[in-house]
Amino acid sequence: MTHYEAVILDVDGTIVRGEELLPGATDGLRALEAAGCSRLLFSNNPTRGADHYGEKLAPHGIDVDPGTVLTSATVSAEYLAATHPGEAVYLVGGERLEAILEDAAVELTSDPDAAAVVLGSFDSDFSFGTLWESLRALEGDVPFYGTDPDATIPIDDGEIPGTGAILAAMETVAGREADAILGKPSSIAAAAAMGRLNVDPRNVLVVGDRLNTDIELGNRAGMETALVLTGVTDRADLAAVDPDSEPDHVLESLAAVETLL
């Protein structure tokens, strides 16, 4: 048996890249299951809900209970529904995120002048017009949130710009930073994860490929952390990181998680 009661696993860059299963991912998941670790998948993807990952991983023989999945979209929806009920949210984001917010009874508005809250996220149709409207929505002191800070998103043949790039543009024109990020690595995300797991954070292992989200989430929350080198971070990035932001462990892939159990 291992001293870890639970594991929080990133998905893109840790288990899959695009639609392809990463080498060793299945072996790592089996090792965690054999060790008796509760499993929570946590993706900063702001365009997907919990059901998506069951559908995504099922063809690879990986069973996923939607109740054991969080995304920055679902965390954002839960947070806004709880803290801003009945307030009009102006969204810079895609149709999938819009649907997730509506399913959580978050009130949305397409009128920037009616915005009581602003949420910035990934939007493949982001344009000058979108930026102009977001500037209008951000006038005054309306609460301003981002779903996640990821500047890029990994795809099968490289990367594309992510939420972080769009948030940077919104922050620049508005002359203010977002009040909070709702996905990883925020305390809001950590609280959502611990609400699902219900264990002591000291007995949780966080595994992911991003230093500024996965590893930072665990470091802030007092969890143990393991960086996998199958995603966006390589050893050169690791060598340049501040000591306070280093992971507890570095693994070539998820398969090597067995060495920690």
Q: Catalytic residue numbers? A: 10, 12
Please give the structure tokens belonging to residue 151. 């500047």
Name the residue with tokens 């919104």.
170
> Cβ(200)–Cβ(3) under 8 Å?
no
In angstroms, the CA 58 to CA 123 distance is 27
Distance (Å, rounded) from C-alpha 125 to C-alpha 106?
22
Distance CA 185, CA 246 (A): 14
Cβ neighbours of residue 195 closer than 8 Å, sequence gap 6 or more: none
Rounded CA-CA distance 223/228 in Å is: 16
Rounded to a whole number, what is the distance in angstroms from the first to the last CA of the chain?
A: 7
Pairing between strand 16-17 and 20-21? antiparallel
The CA-based diameter of the chain, rounded to the nearest angstrom, is 57
Cβ-based neighbour number of residue 158 at 10 Å: 9
SS (H, E, C) 195-207: HHHCCCHHHEEEE
Query: Alpha-carbon distance 210 to 232, whole Å?
Result: 7
